[in-house]
Amino acid sequence: MEIKFLKAGTGDSILIHHQNHNILIDGGNDSKYLLTEIDEIYKKKQNVDLLIITHHDDDHIKGIIDVLKHIKDGNYDGEHTFIKQIIFNSPRLILNKIDSGDEKLLSYKQAFDVEKLLKNTKAKWEKYNDESLPLVYGDLTISFLSPDEKDLKEYSEGKGAYLTSDFKCDWDAPMAVLERYISDDSQDTSIPNKSSVVVQIACENRKILLTGDVTPGRLQIILNKLVENNEGNPMAFDYVKLPHHGSYRSLNKSIIEKINCYNFIISTNSKKHFLPNKRALLKIVKFLPRDKRPVNFIFNYDEALSKLEITDREQKEYNFKLTGNNRPYGISI
């Protein structure tokens, strides 16, 4: 199994390759590398077996619109069967009114754009939540941990707003100073982010948690269930993609204490809302239950790493390391 965290602007675009299967999760808001990867899949005479759109925010969905436009223009195949299955919890699909044609039923323009483009494919399009059965591709299993039906219904009926950061740049402050101001007083509670799809990827004795932009309240519920099923022990993951591009308002002490992981992935080019927050990294190194091994923060853009202005001395003092992208297109694990 290979997982690519593509350079995709300020957002997420994750591509999984396994035994001739291809799974795409989100498209970011810069589709340069995504379209190249999709072209390579087509040249190999393979398909995108599964497309997951975690939620409708611009930095997750714009690249998907670009891919679907390519399909509409006939760039991949005349039968439009290049994508086999799509999971997208669009508001009108949740309300069972997808065929009504009434745009007023939809509060989110880009979600509606995706709906229109999906009509040009023959993909199986479904709504998924935490009660949905896992999807299996050989020895790769995708388990759906969120959202729940209640959150989906609330999301579909409201307009909501995205909370990404407090718009305060903490990049130029020393970590010792920022540590005094670490708290969980301000947390993301927005309904659209709460309804974000969260999945666990299990394959080849590895587990990866992909969190989308999920809110800390919802992520805490997810981890509570996982820990309960794990005899009360923190849940072990080989990699965790940090929610909401490393926003400190998307993490809290209770979440971090329930995770056993040493590799955290941050997906953003740092050109929006001063993300990632240095305080998010501080929360992890401060509250993560761990041994003497350093925590590894992995960035799909080197420039995002450099903007944090973290010194070698700080990395040694707080026992963590920073790793930049290992491929021109981003990260491969």
Q: Say whether 71 sits in a helix, a strand or coil.
A: helix
The two three-digit tokens of residue 278, written as one number: 């240095």
Q: What is the pLDDT of residue 108?
A: 61
Query: For residue 239, what is the DSSP state?
Result: E
Q: What is the pLDDT of residue 218?
A: 95
- For residues 272 and 28, give the distance between their C-alpha atoms in angstroms, rounded to a whole number: 13
Q: What is the pLDDT of residue 165?
A: 52
Task: Give the CATH class of 2-128.
Answer: alpha beta
Closest CA to 153 of 111, 99, 195: 195
R_g of the chain computed on alpha carbons = 19
Q: Say whether 220 sits in a helix, a strand or coil.
A: helix
- pTM score, two decimals? 0.92
Q: What is the pLDDT of residue 95?
A: 65
Q: Count of CB atoms within 10 A of residue 333's CB?
A: 15
Could you list the pLDDT tens digit for every one of the 333 residues in the chain?
A: 999 999 999 999 999 999 999 999 999 999 999 999 999 999 999 999 999 999 888 889 999 999 999 888 878 875 568 999 999 988 777 766 544 444 444 446 777 788 888 877 888 889 999 999 999 999 999 999 999 999 888 887 765 444 445 557 899 999 999 998 888 888 988 888 899 999 999 999 999 999 999 999 999 999 999 999 999 999 999 999 999 999 999 999 999 999 999 999 999 999 988 999 999 999 999 999 999 999 999 999 999 999 999 999 999 999 999 999 999 999 999
- For residues 38 and 299, give the distance between their C-alpha atoms in angstroms, rounded to a whole number: 22
Q: What is the pLDDT of residue 189?
A: 85
Q: Are 3 and 326 in contact (CB under 8 A)?
A: no
Q: What is the pLDDT of residue 100?
A: 46
Q: What interhelical angle do 109-118 and 58-72 show, nearest 10?
A: 30
Q: What is the pLDDT of residue 223?
A: 97
Domain boundaries, the chain: 2-128, 143-332
For 82-97, b where at least 16 C-beta lie within 10 A, e where not — what string?
A: bbbbbbbbbbbbbeee
Sheet holding 124-126, edge to edge: 124-126, 85-88, 50-53, 21-25, 14-18, 2-6, 330-332
Strands 206-210 and 239-241: parallel
